[in-house]
Every structure is written in C-alpha cells, then in structure tokens.
A and B are shown apart, each in its own frame.
Chain A
Amino acid sequence: MLKLDSKIPGGPLEQKWDTHKFKIKLVNPANKRKYSVIVVGTGLAGASASASLAELGYQVKTFTSLDSPRRAHSIAAQGGINAAKNYPNDGDSVYRLFYDTIKGGDFRAREANVYRLAQVSNAIIDQCVAQGVPFARDYGGLLDNRSFGGAQVSRTFYARGQTGQQLLLGAYSALMRQVGLGTVKLFARREMLDLVVVDGAARGIVTRNMVTGEIESHVADAVILATGGYGNTFYLSTNAKGSNGSAIWKAYKKGAAFANPCFTQIHPTCIPVSGDHQSKLTLMSESLRNDGRVWVPKKEGDTRRPEQIPDEERDYYLERVYPSFGNLAPRDVSSRQAKFRVDEGRGVGETRMSVYLDFRDSIKRLGKDKITERYGNLFQMYEKITDENPYEVPMRIYPAVHYTMGGLWVDYNLMSNIPGLHVLGEANFSDHGANRLGASALMQGLADGYFVIPYTIGDYLAGSKLPKVDASHESFRAAENEARGRITKLLSVRGNKTVDELHRELGKVMWDYVGMSRNEAGLKKALTEIPRIRDEFWQNVRIPGEPNFMNQELEKAGRVADFLELGELMARDALHRTESCGGHFREESQTEDNEAKRDDEHFAYVGAWEFKGEGKVPEMSKEKLEFERIQLATRSYK
C-alpha cells in the first residue's frame, strides 16, 4: 500500500494557499541558477511552467515531441477560460467558481486544490492580457464574457472560437522569450521514453531524437511532466493524432501512482463519425450551446429532413429534462442524454447516430451576423468537414472522448509520490474530480504552470539534498539500454497488422465497454479483450523502416504499446468503482430517471494505482476525500 499524503495545509479553506506560500521554503535568487528543471510538454501547463521557472532564474530544459512548442494540443481548445472576475456583475465569486467546479466534478476532487484554482483564476486573465492575448472585448473596450455548461453565471473569457490558440501562443511567446535569453534550452522533436529515478528521486529522462533516432539522457534536479491526457487510448477522440499517455505511463511504471484512470470525459458536441476511414473526431465548442438548441424528433425512426419536422414534433430534450440549465447542462449529463436518445431509435443523420444542434431560433432572434461574429470559425469548420451549411440546416453532433480527468496522483504541491517528479495540467488528476466543466482545462493548465509550480518547486529543491549525478550514472545507462531494447523488439516483430489496425481494435473495445456507459460484464470482457489485443500486438505488428531515421510508425507503435497497458488499468479502475459519478456511469448504479447515482459512503476517495511489475495485478491505495466546507449533495441540474 502506498502512503498518500496530500499535504493539504491546515487552516480555513480561504487561507490555505496564502499560509502555505508563506510557510514553504524559498530558494534564494542567486541559488536558483544552480538548479536545473526538466519540463516535458509545451502545452498551456508546460509552456507556462517553463517560462515562469526560467524567469525566476532556474535552468530549464523543455521538451516537445512536435516540431514546435506552439503546436501542443492546447492550441485546439475553442470555447474559453473561466475566471471569477465577476465583471458582468451577475453574482460570481471565487467561492462560486470553487463550488461549481467541485459540484461539476461530482464531489470527487480535493476541496483545497479546487479552491486554490478558483483563487488564482483572476490572475491568469490579468497575465494573459498583459502578454497581448486578444480576448473578445465590447465597444467600451472592456473584456466580454460568455456562459458555459454547469454554471449559471457568465464567467468565461474567450477569443472568438480560438481561445486555446491565443492562450497557448501567449504562453509560447513567454517561453520563446526565455529561449531567446538562453534561460530555457528547447528540445523539439524529442520523445520521452523513460523517467530516470536515482536514489528514489526523479533526476532526469531518456528521450529519442525523432529526426536522427538518437537515444539521449538528460539530467536535472527535478522533472515536470505536462504531457496532457490519454484520451487516444480510445483511438478516436478529439485529441491530436500525436497526443499520448506514454510519458505518464513510463512514470507509473517507475513507481508514480496513477489516480482515477477511469475518469474520462465524453464531450457531447462533436462532429459524428462519417466512416471507417475516420482518423480523429472534431469538437464543436460547448459555447455553441449558448445559442444552439439540442433536439431529436419525437417519433422513432423519423427520416424527414429537419426543416420538415414541425416544432411540436421535436423533442428539445435537454430543455425538457433540465429546465433550469437547459442546453447548458454539464458535459457528462448532456452526453448521456444524447446516447439515450440514439439508443431509443430517435437519432438523426445517415447513420442515425447523432442529434441536432439547431441555430434556427437564435439566427431569427439575433441575426446571422451576430452568430457569425460569435461562432463564425466553428460554422466554417463544420461545413468543411460535413459539406453541410449550419446556417441553413441544423448541425449534427454526437459525443466523443475528449478529456481524461484521471492522471498521475499529485499532492497539494503538484508533486507525485516520486520525490522530484511534478505533474501539471491534464496529466495530473487533481482538480476536476469525475467530470470537468467547460473552460476549466485552460484555467487549470495555466494555474499550475504560472501560479502554483513556481512556488512549490522551490520548496522541494530547497528542502532536498540531491547528490551530483550525470548521464553516465548507471540508472541513466540502464534506462537508455531498456529504451533501445524496446525499439529493437518492436522492429523485429515484422508481423501482418499495422499499428493503426491494432489501435482501432483497442479503441473499439474501449468505446464499447469502457465508454459512456459501463457495466460489470462489459468491463470484465474488456479485461480479457485488451490483453488479447496486446499479445497480438507483440506477435503480429508490422513496423517498417529503421530506428535511426524519422520513423513515424515506430513512434506510434511505442505509444500504442503503452495504450494497450493503460487501457487495461482504465477498465480495472472502472470495474472496481461500482458507483456512478460524473463521466463514470455504471449502469448498475442509476436513479429511476437514469441519472448517475453516487455512493459517498463507499467511494468518496481517490483510487491511486501502483505498478507491481510486468504481468502482475496493480494495487490500489485510497486517498480519502475530506470535505470540510461543502455538503455532499446530489448533483442536480433540473
């Protein structure tokens, strides 16, 4: 059993972070340059952390598997970023943002972490504006806000439908400023193949240069993983093609605990699958639900065109079931409702596997120009993909895998149970519980990178006595050899199936049994199917080419090999959690009207899994969730 000490500071909720910041150790400015920190990943969390740590004076080495740090998948976030500014004067506050986030996560996140997130949210907006992020403004020149799911106030700041892009470019520019100053050393097209632990502390990584194939060791005093989520376990998701879980999986196998792996967010508004060729799914921002109305025909198997179906024969089911939140019900709830409608035979489109998101009424109310101003780029993207004009016919949408709330376990300082290994952003598990609210991922990524890790890493570095280590240390040698051995093994299989074919097989099992709705029999089936595909992978995968050139099949193969292990852990975690909560819906645990039924008595904890060796069953430890301030309540959006 692991001893999981969350290190939540004492004192009242509102003062925990301030007290903690005062109590933790500092590294004096002249000493900071003696410490080196590795940051893996350049999305919002990684880029903001790299820049902020370098500004403080640390020597930073930053890694990305892409050709430029600006391409990290945070770039694709569309809708916005939450903050408790209360500019619209509609009753928002730090406490309300905290409460909405905890409730949105179905009471499976830590109070103290979430409160801190809400506290620093306002500083993030200030920071981004100072960097030149062009947020939407009104005619008075002040910042504009919009609403998002799971909230009854307008607290979302946005930059058209490209908020993630603008925030990432802000963080990227801060990072590149440091690169120019020589305080950050940037390594692009490098993939982390292993974490190196020396005397129990994280001291570096082993990478592959994706252009030359060279295996390299990098040493530091602390390692930060900001490598995003593992939604691509499902093959089809809204993640980028290159998004993967390998860095955190390698850390897990080196002893880091993996918390709540089964908590996956299925986003309700994505463009539906069009055929077997599909390589990924495209999200349509949740912000569209501000002005779009979701509906299906009342009649089963109604094949009329949408405009031929009169209003009284339409079922605006979100407005019907959740009158107070309506089309802005949270993501998990909206996704499940869409699935119910399709399962009832009331789905629309050629495949009958989608529902309508209709702008007819808001175009009538606001005019086409206003809708274009708000969502123009999204409408354009929709039309490019589907060849249908959403100004004239309703969009067709269906849920798709989008975000993973689970991730490596971290304490209040964002450090894993391996000393020195810090985990930020989507890669950790900490703030979203069992369901993330819209516009909160950007907030968390930047909170972690700009405003949490710069303080907490100092406490670790000042409080540790780290021996001098270089890349010739046996732990680095061993990790390098292991990485080389695995590449040789992958290339020597020379089987008959491609990496993509095997990944699709895994994805299908994950979607069918570990997807939007889960049950015991299905999860047990997944637990036999996934190892079967994994065995086939190692006996029958075909990876052409050589190790010492750019080899994209080899890159993919390494990631899929890890997904084939991670998927099994997700199924195992889902099987053990017999309650329903947030995005985790166990069919055995639902109310009479099909809402998720939580079981606080037995499951108000974080399930953190520990690797026990190849072929061995992992062991779960529990971190009990203590709620000092809020009352656990049934989450209702009715």
Chain B
Amino acid sequence: MSKAKKINLTLKVWRQKDQNEIGRFETHPVKGISTDMSFLEMLDHLNQQIIHAGGDPIAFDSDCREGICGSCSTTINGNPHGPDRETATCQLHMRRFEDGQTIVVEPFRARAFPVIRDISVDRSALDRIIAAGGFVSVSTGNAQDANAIPISKESSDLAFDAAACIGCGACVAACKNASAMLFTSAKISQLALLPQGAVEKDRRARNMVAQMDREKFGNCTNTGACEAACPKGITLENMARMNRQFTSAWLTARVR
C-alpha cells in the first residue's frame, strides 16, 4: 500500500494489433499517478500520453467501471484482475502499488479467448455456454404469482451467491488448464438451487458441459486458482454441485 499521493511506475504492456499478429511487450514510464486513480484511469492517462506522442493507444475493454459488467480482462503481474481479492480491474486502485514499481499488463490468456487487440479478448465462448442451457425454459407471459412457491432463504441466498458471477473469465485466465468450470458451475448451481430451474437441471448440466468442451476449455484439476481470482467470490462448492448434477444426469438419464 502506497502512502504517497503521487507515484511513478514502469508499465510493460502487451501489444498485439490483431489476432494474426504476433504480440510483444512494450515499456512505458508513467509519472505522477495519483493514488486515488483506478487502474483503468491510470491506463486512460497512459493512453492520453501515447496519443500526444503520436502513437497508438492501448486497446482494452471496460464499460461500467463499477465492478459489475465484467468487461475488464486485464492480467496484472500475472494475476487476472491484479493483486486484490474479490476485486475487478476497474475497482483496483493505484494506492495498492508502490512508487517505482514495474507492472506487467497482459490480456486474459486462454485458448478459448483469442486476442482481438492488445488487452481486448474474445470471450463469446462464455455466451455460447449460456446459450446451451444457462436459462429456465420459460417464455414471457405465462408465469404464476411470484409468491406462489416459497423458497427457503438459505437456498435463495446460495442461488444468489452463484448468480453473482459477472462472466469476466478471470477464472479461465487463472486456470493452468484454462478451464471454464467455475463459470459454468455458477449458472448450473444457481438454477438447480431454485425450484423454477430444478425441473430441467439434468438437461442443463449435460448441455452446458458439452458446450464447454466444444469451446476447447480445459479440464479441472482442482487447483482452486479460479476461486482465488474470482472478483465476485464464486466458490468451488458450485463445482462440486455441478459435478454431482452432471454425474447423476448421466446415471439417471432415460435417453443418452
């Protein structure tokens, strides 16, 4: 934690013009960074500096800058979203860094996340996993009264904990196998814990896992790196629930 109000840093940033180009690191000194800045504001500042010097600014995704949209996909000194626990890059502040420090900035790396440019990657594979089964098959208009089925506070709270996933993909980037198990299990868990979603839980588990495999995400070897990197505190418990669901779906399936 820096106590200084202004700090100077050296940034080593991944530069890659598009998917076909081979990337490389570029070094940039940044001076007089206010410790009240967020990490992305520091990158904004650097980009202004680069533009004035006649260069091409660093491309990176960000939108809400409140830690909830899941756009940011920055690996900082080897950690997806940087050093703070349960903190997305946009909520990471520069007071976390020391004056004179060198910071390495890279995109989230995974085979299923091709680089689009610099720090920006294509995470549409995660959307396709959701499209394969991450929903309750209910169309608009035929819902019963919201209070018709009481749901215990415990189940509801557990479902919420799983539903808090922001789909950023840090779990994938943190995993040495680039597995998307934590992401996929969060949705499977949320919906299976609620009576509305439990009806099709078997189908959902099978379809989402199959899609995960098709997207070339790796397998899980239980290192727990995903949980440590997750900005929303999604736990490995969800993966245990998913595995149980998946196995029982296969064992009890009437149609294989």
Contacting pair A87 B147 (CB below 8 A): yes
Q: A75-B64, A176-B131, A277-B36 are in contact. Are A70 and B167 (CB under 8 A)?
A: yes
Contacting pair B196 A159 (CB below 8 A): no
Interface of chain B: mostly helix, strand, loop or mixed: loop
Asked whether B213 is an interface residue with its Cβ less than 8 Å from the other chain, the reply is no
* Complex interface: chain A residues within 8 A of B48 (CB): 498, 500-501
Q: A70-B167, A279-B40, A544-B54 are in contact. Are A137 and B64 (CB under 8 A)?
A: no
Contacting pair B196 A131 (CB below 8 A): yes
Separation of A226 and B137 alpha carbons in the complex (Å) = 24
Separation of A139 and B65 alpha carbons in the complex (Å) = 34
Separation of A159 and B163 alpha carbons in the complex (Å) = 10
Q: A143 to chain B: closest CB distance in Å?
A: 6
Asked whether A552 is an interface residue with its Cβ less than 8 Å from the other chain, the reply is yes
Asked whether B80 is an interface residue with its Cβ less than 8 Å from the other chain, the reply is no
Contacting pair A176 B134 (CB below 8 A): yes
Separation of A378 and B98 alpha carbons in the complex (Å) = 27
Asked whether B136 is an interface residue with its Cβ less than 8 Å from the other chain, the reply is yes
Contacting pair A552 B140 (CB below 8 A): no
Q: A176-B130, A498-B51 are in contact. Are A55 and B65 (CB under 8 A)?
A: no
Q: A141: nearest residue on chain B (CB-CB)?
A: B150
Contacting pair A162 B68 (CB below 8 A): yes
Separation of A449 and B70 alpha carbons in the complex (Å) = 24
Contacting pair B152 A141 (CB below 8 A): yes
Separation of A498 and B55 alpha carbons in the complex (Å) = 12
Q: A75-B69, A450-B140 are in contact. Are A134 and B194 (CB under 8 A)?
A: yes
Separation of A19 and B93 alpha carbons in the complex (Å) = 55
List A52-91 residues whose CB lies under 8 Å from chain B.
52, 55, 66-73, 75-76, 85, 87
Counting chain A residues whose Cβ lies within 8 A of the other chain, the interface size class is: 35 or more
Separation of A541 and B20 alpha carbons in the complex (Å) = 30
Q: B169 to chain A: closest CB distance in Å?
A: 10
Separation of A139 and B156 alpha carbons in the complex (Å) = 10
Q: A52-B140, A279-B44 are in contact. Are A274 and B36 (CB under 8 A)?
A: yes
List A25-76 residues whose CB lies under 8 Å from chain B.
48, 51-52, 55, 66-73, 75-76
The proximity string for A residues 482-503 relative to B, scoring 1 for CB distances below 8 Å and 0 otherwise, is 0000000000000000101100
**Interface-facing stretch out of A164-172, A257-265, A409-417:** A164-172
Q: Which of A73, A134, A277 contacts B63 (CB 8 A)?
A: A73
* Complex interface: chain B residues within 8 A of A67 (CB): 61, 71, 120, 122-124
**Interface-facing stretch out of A288-296, A379-387, A529-537:** A379-387
Contacting pair A71 B63 (CB below 8 A): yes
Q: A211: nearest residue on chain B (CB-CB)?
A: B116
* Complex interface: chain B residues within 8 A of A544 (CB): 51, 54-57
List B69-123 residues whose CB lies under 8 Å from chain A.
69-71, 84, 87, 91, 93, 95, 116-117, 120, 122-123
Interface centre among A130, A165, A277 (most CB of B within 10 A): A130
Q: A68-B123, A454-B140 are in contact. Are A275 and B36 (CB under 8 A)?
A: yes
Contacting pair B140 A179 (CB below 8 A): no
The proximity string for A residues 136-148 relative to B, scoring 1 for CB distances below 8 Å and 0 otherwise, is 1111111100000
Asked whether B41 is an interface residue with its Cβ less than 8 Å from the other chain, the reply is yes
Contacting pair B117 A66 (CB below 8 A): no
Interface centre among A283, A454, A498 (most CB of B within 10 A): A498
Q: B126: nearest residue on chain A (CB-CB)?
A: A68
Q: Which of A48, A123, A186, A280 contacts B65 (CB 8 A)?
A: A280
Q: A173: nearest residue on chain B (CB-CB)?
A: B135
List B32-73 residues whose CB lies under 8 Å from chain A.
34, 36-38, 40-41, 44-45, 48, 51-52, 54-57, 59, 61-71
Separation of A123 and B144 alpha carbons in the complex (Å) = 9
Q: Which of A71, A127, A138, A275 contacts B143 (CB 8 A)?
A: A127
Separation of A69 and B128 alpha carbons in the complex (Å) = 12
Q: A76-B68, A550-B59 are in contact. Are A277 and B196 (CB under 8 A)?
A: no
List A372-408 residues whose CB lies under 8 Å from chain B.
381, 384-385, 387
Contacting pair B68 A172 (CB below 8 A): no
* Complex interface: chain A residues within 8 A of B34 (CB): 274-275, 277
Q: Which of B52, B133, B147 contacts A143 (CB 8 A)?
A: B147
Q: A162-B164, A174-B140, A240-B63 are in contact. Are A142 and B116 (CB under 8 A)?
A: no
Residues of A near any B CB (own CB < 8 A):
48, 51-52, 55, 66-73, 75-76, 85, 87, 123, 125-132, 134-143, 159-160, 162, 165-166, 169, 172-174, 176-177, 179-180, 186, 188, 211, 240-242, 274-275, 277-280, 282-283, 381, 384-385, 387, 450-451, 454, 498, 500-501, 542, 544-545, 549-550, 552-553
16 more A-B contacts (CB under 8 A) besides A66-B71, A385-B91, A387-B93? A52-B139, A71-B71, A130-B143, A130-B196, A132-B135, A142-B147, A165-B164, A177-B137, A240-B63, A274-B36, A277-B36, A277-B45, A280-B65, A381-B91, A545-B57, A550-B18
Residues of B near any A CB (own CB < 8 A):
17-18, 34, 36-38, 40-41, 44-45, 48, 51-52, 54-57, 59, 61-71, 84, 87, 91, 93, 95, 116-117, 120, 122-124, 126-127, 130-147, 150-153, 156-157, 159-160, 163-164, 166-167, 190-191, 194, 196-197
10 closest residue pairs by CB, A with B = A141-B150, A180-B131, A173-B135, A130-B143, A126-B143, A134-B160, A129-B146, A240-B63, A52-B140, A550-B117
